[in-house]
Amino acid sequence: MTTPDIGEAWRARCVRAEALGYDVILVPDHLGMVAPFPALVAAAAATERPRLGTFVLNAAFWNPALLAREIATTDALTGGRLEVGLGAGYVREEHERAGLEFLPPGERVGHLIRTVTELDRLLGDEVELPRPVQLPRPPLLIGGNGDRVLRLAAEHAEIAAFAGGRATKEGGLRALAARELAERVDAYRGFAAGRAVPAELNLLLQYVAVTPDRRAAVRELTPIAPELTEDELLDLPLIAVGTVRQIADQLRGLRERFGFSYLCVLAPFMEAFGPVIEELSGS
| 246-273 mean pLDDT | 96
Hey, which bits of 61-206 come out as E strands? 82-87, 140-143, 159-162, 165-167, 173-175, 200-205
pLDDT in tens, 166-223: 666 655 567 788 899 999 999 999 999 999 999 999 999 999 999 999 999 998 888 7
CATH annotation of 8-280: 3.20.20.30
Q: How far is residue 14's CA from residue 5's CA, in Å, rounded to a whole number? A: 10
| 23-45 mean pLDDT | 96
Q: Which pTM value belongs to this model?
A: 0.93
pLDDT at 2 over 60: no
Encode 54-77: b = buried (16+ Cβ within 10 Å), e = exposed: bbbbbbbebebeebbbbbbbbbbb
Domain spans of the chain? 8-280
Compute, in degrees rounded to 10, the torsion defined by CA atoms 166, 167, 172, 175. 0
- By three-state DSSP, how is residue 220 classified? coil
Q: How far is residue 137's CA from residue 124's CA, in Å, rounded to a whole number? A: 6
pLDDT in tens, 46-87: 999 999 999 999 999 999 999 999 999 999 999 999 999 999
Are the CB atoms for 163 and 146 separated by under 8 Å?
Answer: no
Q: How far is residue 278's CA from residue 21's CA, in Å, rounded to a whole number? A: 7
Are the CB atoms for 58 and 82 separated by under 8 Å?
Answer: no
Q: How far is residue 3's CA from residue 199's CA, in Å, rounded to a whole number? A: 26
Looking at the chain, the whole-number percentage of residues with pLDDT higher than 70 is 95
One-letter amino acid of 179: R
For residue 82, give the nearest of 68, 66, 64 by alpha carbon: 68
